Copies of this chain bind each other. A is one copy, B any other.
Amino acid sequence: MADLEIRELRYFVALAEELSFSRAAGRLGMAQPPLSKAVQGMERKLGVILLRRSTRRVELTDAGRVLLDQARHVLDAAAAASARTRRAGLPQPRLVVAVKPGGDAGLLADVLARYHREPGHPPARVTVGGWGEQAAELREGAADVALLRDLPDHAGLDHEVLATQPRGVLLPRGHRLAGRGTLRRADLAGEPVPVWPPAGPRHALFRAALDHLPGAAAPEGPEVGDFQQLLEVVALGQGVAFVPLASAALHPRADLVCVPVVDISPSTVVVAWAQTSRSPSVAAFVRAATDAAADISGRHGS
């Protein structure tokens, strides 16, 4: 049962994505024949046909689809192993915390203070990145822990919920519903929802919108790449967006209003970490985060 090598898995992923031996070989910086041989070797070792190929078409078998998914996990894990080991070997290792601007619900300073109060843990270094990057950073070992909103459902991450925030809908000031004090989601049937981001896994706000609008009554709006574009599209009347009320308050615009929607699930602020890197320092940071959040909500509650 000789197992597969990392190199072979990289080859296979490239091939499965390109569905062409020549193109995949080009992307890998190698010639086509050795790629053919490598894949034949994998099929021999596994005793399984991975690709149905003629001279004109290449397509994955069921087993090939499984291997594509699994290989990505292995490659992530291998990249993470290198990255985390390198970081641990630095003269002064740091706990890398990935945050998104506005995605920490104002908790970051308090969390860091609590984390540093407990001795024996490496100092924290904060990196700022857009949504989606954080999950990738955690999985690939570039970061140890992250504060973010609405965790994507990607496998491999554990999380604790720190806070929930009610969501509203962003509307242009002149919209027929802009004057209402609160809305229910049924009111929004038929409003177009901008697609965000245009490629790859959708942003949680987008998925939330689809989940919350009744049935297929939500036509897809234009594609937007970031939050600013989203605001522009809404201002132009091309779509509506579900955002946390607190987040809307951070970006006030004269031409937009944010109306609370009472019957949709709230946005969550979470602390997340890779399931494969639960070090004592990560645990300490998570504890600091949950303590800080409990303290805040307790203070609000009193």
Contacts and interface: CB of A to CB of B under 8 A. Distances in A.
Interface stretch (A59-67, A207-215, A230-238): A59-67
Contacts of A252: none
A70 interface: yes
Contacts of A6: 3-6
A156 B277 CA distance: 11
A71 B158 CA distance: 19
Nearest to A66: B88
A93 B156 contact: no
B275 A155 contact: yes
B4 A78 contact: yes
Contacts of A3: 6, 78-79, 82
B85 A67 contact: yes
Interface string A46-87: 111110000000000111011101110110011111101110
Interface string A154-165: 011010000000
A227 to B, nearest CB: 29
Interface residues of A, number: 44
A89 interface: yes
Contacts of A62: 88-89, 93
Contacts of A85: 46, 48, 50, 63, 66-67, 70
Contacts of A141: 70
A1 interface: yes
Contacts of A71: 81
A163 to B, nearest CB: 23
A278 interface: yes
Interface string A19-56: 00000000000000000000000000011111000000
A276 interface: yes
A69 B93 CA distance: 17
A5 B9 CA distance: 11
B74 A88 contact: no
A81 B47 contact: no
B48 A70 contact: no
A84 B46 CA distance: 10
A7 interface: yes
5 contacts: A5-B6, A47-B89, A67-B84, A70-B85, A155-B278
Interface of A: 1, 3-7, 9, 46-50, 61-63, 65-67, 69-71, 73-74, 77-82, 84-86, 88-89, 93, 141, 155-156, 158, 275-279
Given A74-B78, A275-B275, 6 more contacts: A3-B82, A4-B81, A63-B86, A63-B89, A70-B277, A73-B276
